Amino acid sequence: MKPEDFDLISTLVKDRSGLVLTKDKLYLLESRLVPLARKRGMSGLGDLVAVLRNGRDERLVSDVTEAMTTNESSFFRDIKPYEHLRQMVLPRLMQSRASRRQIRIWSAAASTGQEAYSIAISLREESAKLAGWRTEIVGTDLSNEVLEKARTGFYTQFEVQRGMPVALLMRYFTQVGEVWQIDPSIRAMVKFRPQNLLASFAALGAFDVVFCRNVLIYFDQQTKTQVLAKIARQMPADGLLFLGGAETVLGISDAFRPLSGFRGVYELTGQTRH
């Protein structure tokens, strides 16, 4: 691929999603976009670049952007966040929200839904304590393709084996032929919606807890800072943020600070609130 073609695609993807494609990702770009070009009846990347260059095929631009996202996810990924959610976050919120009895949780880069459903299962496991509470889980992603899969609640054997404890698999899934279907009552706990983290998300409302895990790693520093500042604005002063194991706010955002004793959990500093 010509350097100017790589630059065209990487600029377009960065503008649309924040994802930074460095030159060492050329193989990734080719392996993801050649099949897309073929699907569109094009002979190869040359044709695809030509259509992108004339700038009129908006659908192709979003298909290219979606194709370049990494949608890797698993149930109860890294396990600790879900222990923190049940053992620390929920009791804390139930105390502070005792009069309102409402908790809203956002899975901000939900991919194929494993994160949002792991949150839903965690809440269901605490249902005795949460009786009489209204809980709402919203899962969002830039990619419509992953959201469609998330909404179905169907997962392969491989997908459920990655992280889902057997007892919970038995309790909350039904095997349908080769695949596993999540219980309709768990599925009903999550609403999936398209949302680009670069766009305004004021319309989503406020969230007590935000999982924004394993997406900031793909952004440059400025984008991380902006996204974290916007997330902070959607949270009440005692809200909590979960980031991925390879992510941090240190040196990136003054809106959050690590919550001592709970790795991967961040609290608001109040600094961007005024």
Residues binding ligand SAM (CB under 6 A): 17-19, 69-73, 77, 109, 111, 115, 141-143, 146, 196-198, 213-215, 244
In the complex, what is the shortest distance from the CB of residue 81 to ligand SAM, in angstroms, rounded to a whole number?
9
> Which among 137, 105, 96 has a CA at the least distance from the CA of 238?
96
The CA–CA distances, whole Å, from 171 to 81, 129, 186 equal 21, 19, 11
| Pure H helices in the chain | 3-17, 26-39, 45-54, 58-67, 80-84, 90-96, 114-125, 144-152, 157-161, 166-172, 184-187, 221-233
Identity of the residue numbered 52: L
Nearer to ligand SAM, 60 or 94 (CB): 60
Rounded Cα distance, 111 and 205, in Å: 20
Nearer to ligand SAM, 42 or 89 (CB): 89
The CA–CA distances, whole Å, from 200 to 15, 27, 51, 162 equal 15, 32, 29, 33
In the complex, what is the shortest distance from the CB of residue 141 to ligand SAM, in angstroms, rounded to a whole number?
5
In the complex, what is the shortest distance from the CB of residue 50 to ligand SAM, in angstroms, rounded to a whole number?
26
Nearer to ligand SAM, 142 or 189 (CB): 142
Nearer to ligand SAM, 143 or 253 (CB): 143
In the complex, what is the shortest distance from the CB of residue 100 to ligand SAM, in angstroms, rounded to a whole number?
27
In the complex, what is the shortest distance from the CB of residue 238 to ligand SAM, in angstroms, rounded to a whole number?
23
Nearer to ligand SAM, 42 or 138 (CB): 138
Query: The tokens 């057997």 sit on which residue?
Result: 166
Q: Name the phi and psi angles at 12, rounded to 5.
A: -65, -45
Q: How far is CA 62 from the centre of its chain?
A: 18
Nearer to ligand SAM, 211 or 256 (CB): 211
3-state secondary structure of 142: coil
In the complex, what is the shortest distance from the CB of residue 112 to ligand SAM, in angstroms, rounded to a whole number?
7
